[in-house]
Amino acid sequence: MDSKFFLGIGLAIVLVFAGAAVYSSFAKLSDTPRATGDRDVLYQVSTIDALMQGVYDGVQPVGEIRKHGDFGIGTFDALDGEMIVLDGVVYQATADGRIHAVADSMTTPFATVTCFDRDLSATTERPMNFSVFSTTMAGQLPAENMVYAVRMHGTFPFLKVRAIPAQHKPYPPLAEAAKNQSVSTYSQTTGTVVGFYTPIFFQGLNVAGYHLHFIRDDRKTGGHILDLTVPANTTVEYDITPGFTMILPTSGDFTGVDLSHDLSGDLAKIEQ
């Protein structure tokens, strides 16, 4: 069959994991009834490797994203800031450090959303920075080969976030664009951490491990988390998300970009 056929109709990839057995093996997690059907699907637009290589044109409206989830993260057309989706509202953290609720007409080149229904929760036993948190909490997951939506609310003693300003064509790679990112640090900041844990085999599709954004309770500041201090006795909520749907652009830069390279090293530098 002609490969152009697939580009003509778009591409949806659906992966369904058998996840029922994971509940019994995580002693520190509390049982909560699971949602069923489409609420257990991670819906993703494009791939992180495409974004890494400068594919920044928005391809899907925010209004369409909201049909597939009330919780998630991403970015906006031309890489203009960081997306935080919380309780069904889509926010934009811009490079000036401010938060804006966005219109459904705005578009995204890369986003991941789901309907958050808590399945499990864990409580941190000691203060941890982002690196220690990522390693410690990943090791406690009932299955590291599953996808989890991750939500935390609390007062964080230290928080370091970034937002990248809108880029102009010809778009630079993300590693270059990130050199002009705006970084803000906060202390004793109360708000919600929003994001996902994806397994290592998602490398190239998404950010493997923990990928987290933050929004303050007053909805005035936030962004992509570079580092933070998670206090002891913080509740980390997880939504096991066994379904995965990916929508790929059918035109524009995506169709010609070379996605054969391993960009994990460059991505790790950008995420820190």
Tens digit of each residue's pLDDT (9 = 90 or more) over 184-203: 999 999 999 999 999 999 99
pLDDT in tens, 105-117: 999 999 999 999 9
User: Sheet of 41-45: strands edge to edge?
Assistant: 12-16, 243-247, 41-45, 111-114, 71-75, 82-86, 89-93, 99-101
The half-sphere exposure of 173 on its side-chain side, counting CA atoms within 13 A, is 12
Residue boundaries of the structural domains of the chain: 4-271
DSSP 167: P
Question: For residues 6 and 194, what is the distance between their CA atoms, to the nearest angstrom?
Answer: 33
Residue 271: its pLDDT value, please? 78
pLDDT surpasses 50 at 23: no
**What is the pTM for the complete model shown?**
0.88
Q: Is the pLDDT of residue 235 over 70?
A: yes
Please report which confidence band the pLDDT of residue 8 belongs to, taking 50, 70 and 90 as the band edges.
very low
Contact 112, 43 (CB under 8 A): yes
Residue whose C-alpha is closest to residue 192's, from 264, 116, 268, 246: 116
Q: Classify domain 4-271 by CATH architecture.
A: 2-Layer Sandwich (3.30)
43-52 per-position pLDDT tens digit: 999 999 999 9
